[in-house]
Amino acid sequence: MPMPELVLSRLMAHAILADRELTAELAPTGRLRVAIAVGPAPSAVYAVRAGGALRGVPVALAEALAAATGLPIEFVPFPSSGEIQATAARGLWDVSFLPVDEERRRHVDFGAAYHTLQSSYLVPAGSPIRRLAEADAPDVRIVGVRNSATLRASLRASPRASHVPVESPEDAVAMMHGGLADAIAMGREVLSGLVAQIEGSRILPGSFLSTTTAVAVPKGRPAALACVTALIEEAKAAGLVQQALERVGLAGARRPPAAGAV
């Protein structure tokens, strides 16, 4: 089934390309450079590589933004959302899709949210940890992605545990396979993809973080932010977000309503 097109694509493309101030903010190099987190399992944040190409929810949304603006697209892959955050001021990318938290607001400006993120812990086979509260203990080693909203929330939720930052979800899996992690802290959708990679592992019920995933731009680009916010709201209303989630097996993922929806 083809992805639905944004209703205002042609009109908006002409308007955006004619607005020099907007295009200077949205695509200063002449290309829409989209920062994409690439991981081992798809989610509303992470894309995966399939046959050499990127596939996933952020890729579908990025392609819709490029089509709606009439701008050529360039994907800029990163191993995590934390790396995207860390490079926001370096001029490497123009648009991304990231979980929201207060620390991250210091580095990027967030537009429309398109997904509700909940984070929990994955524990290995035979783990005595059954509840989230039981992870908050001095002898528990929690691994999470560096600079991620989830790792920051885990530090607040389990302050007595030891937290080990890694660069990517793949590194977290390797730590657990090596017996160096008692829990992995990530979004539930990513954890669902990791369960198959760690035999006997399970995801704890509940969540220690509930936030949203939203389109984001580097600080100081108000015109670009307004543009991508309007387009993501249109994508939500047109059903594009839901279809993108369904394509990667996340039909049940929670989504904020489109602006103005009843």
Span 93-148, pLDDT tens digits: 999 999 999 999 999 999 999 999 999 999 999 999 999 999 999 999 999 999 99
Q: Give the pLDDT band (50/70/90) at residue 243.
A: very high
Going 244 to 186 to 47 to 85, the CA torsion angle's sign is positive
What local confidence, expressed as pLDDT, does residue 56 receive?
93
Please give the angle made by the CA atoms of 68, 73 and 79, to the nearest 5 degrees.
120
Q: Assess whether pLDDT exceeds 60 at residue 240.
A: yes
Q: Give the pLDDT band (50/70/90) at residue 256.
A: confident
Show the beta-strand stretches assigned E in the chain.
32-38, 46-50, 53-55, 73-78, 95-99, 108-123, 141-145, 162-166, 183-187, 202-203, 209-218
Among all chains, which residue has been given the structure tokens 């899709």? 97
End-to-end CA distance of the chain: 27
pTM of the full predicted structure? 0.85
What is the residue-averaged pLDDT of the chain? 90
What local confidence, expressed as pLDDT, does residue 69 receive?
85
Q: Assess whether pLDDT exceeds 90 at residue 249.
A: no
What local confidence, expressed as pLDDT, does residue 262 receive?
40
> How far is Cα 84 from Cα 198, in angstroms, rounded to an integer?
27
> How far is Cα 257 from Cα 262, in angstroms, rounded to an integer?
8
What local confidence, expressed as pLDDT, does residue 255 receive?
80
What local confidence, expressed as pLDDT, does residue 1 receive?
47
What local confidence, expressed as pLDDT, does residue 3 receive?
54
Q: Give the pLDDT band (50/70/90) at residue 5.
A: low
Residues 170-208 pLDDT 10s? 999 999 999 999 999 999 989 998 999 999 999 999 999
More confident residue, 253 or 46: 46
What local confidence, expressed as pLDDT, does residue 260 receive?
55
What local confidence, expressed as pLDDT, does residue 8 receive?
45
- Backbone angles phi and psi of 45, in degrees to 5: -105, -45
**Which tokens go with 116?**
């509700």
Q: Give the pLDDT band (50/70/90) at residue 11.
A: very low
Q: How large a percentage of the chain has pLDDT more than 70?
A: 92
* Residues 156-174, mean pLDDT to the nearest whole number: 96
Q: Assess whether pLDDT exceeds 90 at residue 19.
A: no
